[in-house]
Amino acid sequence: MSGHSHAKTVMATKMANAAKKGKIYSKYGRLITIAVKDGGGSGDPTKNSKLKATIEQAKAMDMPKENIERAIKKGTGELAGEALEEVSYEGFGPGGIALIINGITDNANRTLSEIKSILNQNNGKMAGEGAVRWMFERKGVIIINLQKTEELEMTVIEAGADDIKSYDNQTEIYTKTEDLDAVKKALEDKGLKIESASLDMIAKEEVEISEKEKEQVERLFEALDDNEAVNNIYSNLKS
């Protein structure tokens, strides 16, 4: 997986598995709570763009309305919640691919130990702060479930996007961070259905690895995704 977060794709493919839904909802619940806190305690998505985007993603995963409302109230303080903090780790995976692993936890020391263990067990290793991050840049990423066509490409460019790529039957549209909301609205005004819109870490250069190493990477991504704290996994692996 190149482009945006591998974890989001993993989550989407697992929605048919009822046992996984609770874990996915728990992860999005934490993201919503953090989004409220990052927005100065505002639980109003019309006044908190990060919260609005996170709620849209949660709804796309069929997260129940009551779960969303409960997570918002934990952020505003109306309901008691865990003491949560955002964490980010850098590392290398099979074939030397670069990794950025983002999450939310109530125990940073425990989560650090767990991530180290998962990497070590899957032909990966932790990296020092800054060792990997320079290989990525922050961009807006809009996903639509359409294959790229010349007409779609023209529409995207006219909307103000920087780039467009297709993977299978899905298209990723890249924007400057400050242009994400405007491009999203322009595309919606053109009648396009947006699957998700978020700010992600995009690899500046992608790398090729062997098929055997790709299988190892998939196992690593699965193990990371199964960790309760992990929300997003970014890599420079070429699709």
Ordered by where they begin, the domains of the chain are: 6-76 (1.10.10.200), 85-134+205-235 (3.30.70.980), 136-203 (3.30.70.980)
Enter the pTM of the model: 0.85
| pLDDT tens, position by position, 78-124 | 988 788 999 999 999 999 999 999 999 999 999 999 999 999 999 99
Give the DSSP per-residue string, 118-146: HHHHTT-EEE-TTTTGGGEEEEEEEEESS
- Rounded Cα gap, residues 217 and 227, in angstroms: 16
Rounded-to-integer distance, Cα 198 and Cα 2, Å: 15
Q: Is 5 exposed, middle or buried (0-12, 13-18, 19+ CB in 10 A)?
A: buried
Gap between the Cα atoms of 11 and 5, Å rounded: 10
pLDDT in tens, 178-237: 999 899 999 999 999 988 888 899 999 999 999 999 999 999 999 998 898 999 999 999
**Rg of the chain over all Cα atoms, to the nearest angstrom:** 18
Bridge partner residues of 237 (DSSP): 207
Neighbours of 29 (CB within 10 A): 22
